[in-house]
Amino acid sequence: MNQINNMKNTIYSLFLLLLSILPAHASGDKPTIKSLLKELDRTISMKADFHKQREHEIDSIRKLAHATPSPEEKYHLYSSLYGIYLHYQADSALHYLEKRKALLPSLQNPQYENDLWIARAEVLGIMGLYNEVAAQLEQVRRDQLDNQTLLYYYYTCRTYYGWIADYTRTDERHKYIEKTNAYRDSILSLTTNQLDHSVVLADKMIVDGQADKAIELINKELEGLDNQESLVYLLYNLSQAYAQKGDTEKQIYYLAQTAIADLKAAKREYISLQKLALLMFEKGDIERAYKYLSCSMEDAVACNARLRSVEVTEFFPIVDKVYKLKIEKEKQISRTLLISVSFLSFLLLVTIIYLYRQMKKLSLMRKAVSASNEQLQEINKELSQASKIKEEYIALYLNQCVIYLDKLDTYRRSLAKLAMASKLDDLFKTIKSEQFIRDERKNFYNEFDKSFLKLFPHFIKSFNDLMTEEGKLSPKSGEILSTELRIFALIRLGINDSSNIAHFLGYSLATVYSYRSKVRSKALDKDKFEELVATL
């Protein structure tokens, strides 16, 4: 008994889990079709998780059945396993029917035998073995059935003839429809539960073309409904009622909720998802139609639900063909886009290379312009310096000319005084004396040296940088520039000719040659020495 209680607790926990994952309609929310389809897509992607939960439930009950010594408890546990497997894996459901049958001799309950015949017909109907279903139902002794078992029998017969009607494409289909309706009426006459009665009655109203009445009845039952299994049937009936009214949007709305509930309950034998797939196909949502039909076919095959497999395979090739054409078209578009992007990328690469080369040329041109600007700046600097030199020396020249004119006039007057005073000896003595010339030349060189160092204040240091240690020159005490420095100062000013230098300094040409050679011999770079001096 404890094991049965444990089993009930396990089933109750899983039932609470099922309540938490049923569609939002159950809690009064009104999701949109878009959100429902997204939820359905997520549910399909999580299908394996729901199957794991179902396997866990099966494993728990199987362990209880294996552990219990009581045939009665074992029989009921096998019945539970049959119910779980019925819409999940029909072969396994049939297997546990055989286990229940094996327990009959020890139970001595004739009601169980009738129940087994009905259950066998039920599962064989799901498997599509309709000839065997009829044979199983004929074995049932209706006079021995209580009301609950008889109701089970009517449900099975109604389902069986409904499947036969769906499967039949001949004129006999009408006969099976009449039998289906007859058994539906029998169910209505025997059903005492109000909710179950309303579910079947709504189905009858839809068949009779009373869709509005069915919708009104179902909406009334949905108010405050807490029976989740009946909710799924009501939602499906709502979808069928709106299908009869031609309201495709609401049909999709309720089929989506039914499909979500079926998948979350780990069912593999269902009709809602494949009907929804056909509606998606008609609306042009090929991808969803293909996904839903693929899921339906996969589950039908796994459950061994033959009728569902046949229903899917009738329409699946059409959807599959359109889906593959869609995929091929998308691939073609992708290829076209890829080629276009590749071509544009090539053009972009060519443009980048062209721009890079142009920028490189521009960079070289900028460098050339920059170099030219630097050269122009140097030239301007040299011209400015040359202009400054010219201005300095022109001013010096003019100033010296004026000074010499004044000195010559003073000298002339002194000679005139001597002549007027008849001091002829003093006059001749003065005329013969060279002191005046020496003093003036000395003054001239001093002025020249001052002016030169004013223009080139670092000349002496820069000059000595070109010399070896023993060749470095410096003015003597009382001098501004030495004779050697003065010679090269003239070279810096552009006077290179030795005869001009000799004339300027009052030296012989040989003396100037000697000075230049002597200094050059002590330079660091003898060959380019005077060229370097000219740039100091």
Residue 511 near residue 521, CB atoms below 8 Å: no
Helices marked H in 271-305: 272-282, 286-303
Average pLDDT over residues 383-392: 64
* Per-residue model confidence (pLDDT) at position 392: 64
Q: Helix H segments across 25-146?
A: 33-45, 47-67, 71-86, 90-107, 110-126, 130-138
User: What does the pLDDT average to over 364-384?
Assistant: 78
Amino acid 18: pLDDT: 41
Mean pLDDT, range 208-229, rounded to an integer:
86
Distance CA 495, CA 389 (A): 13
Q: How many CB atoms lie within 10 A of CB 457?
A: 10
Q: What is the pLDDT of residue 472?
A: 85
- Whether pLDDT at 27 is above 60: no
pLDDT of 101 above 80: yes
Mean pLDDT of 306-312: 80
Determine the pLDDT at residue 488: 85
**What is the per-residue DSSP string for 424-476?**
HHHHHHHHH--HHHHHHHHHHHHHHHHHHHHH-TTHHHHHHHTB-GGG---PP
**What is the average pLDDT score of the chain?**
83
**Number of residues in the chain:** 536
Q: What is the pLDDT of residues 341-362, one digit of tens each?
A: 888 888 899 889 989 988 888 8
State the DSSP H helix or E strand holding residue 319, giving kind and residue range, or none if neither.
Answer: helix 306-420
**Do residues 217 and 225 make contact, with C-beta atoms less than 8 angstroms apart?**
no
Residue 523: strand pairing partners? 467
Cα distance between residue 309 and residue 316, in whole Å: 10
pLDDT score for 385? 65
Whether the pLDDT of residue 39 is over 90: the answer is yes
Highest mean pLDDT among 23-37, 74-88, 283-297, 518-532: 74-88
Residue 68 dihedral angles phi and psi, to the nearest 5°? -75, 140
CB 484 within 8 A of CB 473: yes
Distance between CA 238 and CA 257 in Å, rounded? 11
At 33 the three-state DSSP class reads: helix
Secondary structure of residue 422 in the 3-state scheme:
coil
Mean pLDDT of 256-277: 92
Determine the angle formed by the axes of helices 33-45 and 286-303, rounding to 10 degrees. 40
| 203: its two tokens | 């189905």
Q: How far is CA 175 from CA 163, 165, 185, 283, in A?
A: 13, 8, 16, 34
pLDDT digit string, tens, across residues 239-250: 999 999 999 999
- Judged by DSSP in three states, 231 sits in helix
Residue 25: pLDDT above 60? no
**What CA–CA distance (Å, rounded) separates 401 from 212?**
133
* Residue 394: per-residue pLDDT: 61
Least confident of 15-29, 123-137, 332-346: 15-29
Domain ranges of the chain: 437-535
Cβ pair 7, 79 in contact under 8 A: no
**Residue 171 confidence class, pLDDT cut points 50, 70, 90:** confident
Lowest mean per-residue pLDDT among 137-146, 193-202, 290-299, 476-485: 476-485
467 - beta bridge partners?
Answer: 523
Is residue 512 predicted with pLDDT exceeding 90? no
pLDDT the model gives residue 152: 94
pLDDT band at 306 (very low <50, low <70, confident <90, very high): confident
For the entire predicted model, the pTM comes to 0.60
Highest mean predicted confidence (pLDDT) among 199-208, 284-293, 357-366, 515-524:
199-208
Q: How far, in Å, CA of 230 to CA of 438, rounded?
A: 140
Task: Report which of 124, 260, 303 is spatially closest to residue 312, judged by C-alpha positions.
Answer: 303
Is residue 319 a contact partner of residue 293, using CB atoms and an 8 Å limit? yes
pLDDT at 467: 87
pLDDT band at 19 (very low <50, low <70, confident <90, very high): very low
Task: Please report, to the nearest 10 degrees, the dihedral formed by the alpha carbons of residues 306, 311, 317, 320 taken in order.
Answer: -100
Per-residue pLDDT of 48-72, as tens digits, reads 999 999 999 999 999 999 999 999 9
Residues 371, 373, 377, 379: what is their CA dihedral angle, to the nearest 10 degrees?
70
Lowest mean pLDDT among 143-152, 281-290, 326-335, 499-508: 326-335
Phi, psi of 467 (to 5 degrees): -110, 160
Closest CA to 316 of 304, 308, 306: 308
pLDDT for 401 equals: 63
pLDDT above 60 for 17: no
Residue 255: which H helix or E strand, with range? helix 248-264
Lowest mean pLDDT among 283-287, 300-304, 396-400: 396-400
The 10s digit of each residue's pLDDT in 448-473 is 888 888 878 888 888 888 888 888 88
What pLDDT does 7 receive?
38
What is the distance between the alpha carbons of residues 405 and 448, in angstroms, rounded to a whole number?
18
CB 286 within 8 A of CB 65: no
Contacts with 205 (C-beta within 8 Å, 6 or more apart), sequence order: 211, 213, 214, 217, 241
pLDDT for residue 433: 59
Give the per-residue pLDDT at 430: 65
pLDDT above 60: residue 402: no
| Least confident residue range of 136-150, 388-402, 495-509 | 388-402
What's the whole-number mean pLDDT along residues 293-314?
Answer: 86
Tokens of 158: 């109604």
* pLDDT of the residue at 426: 66
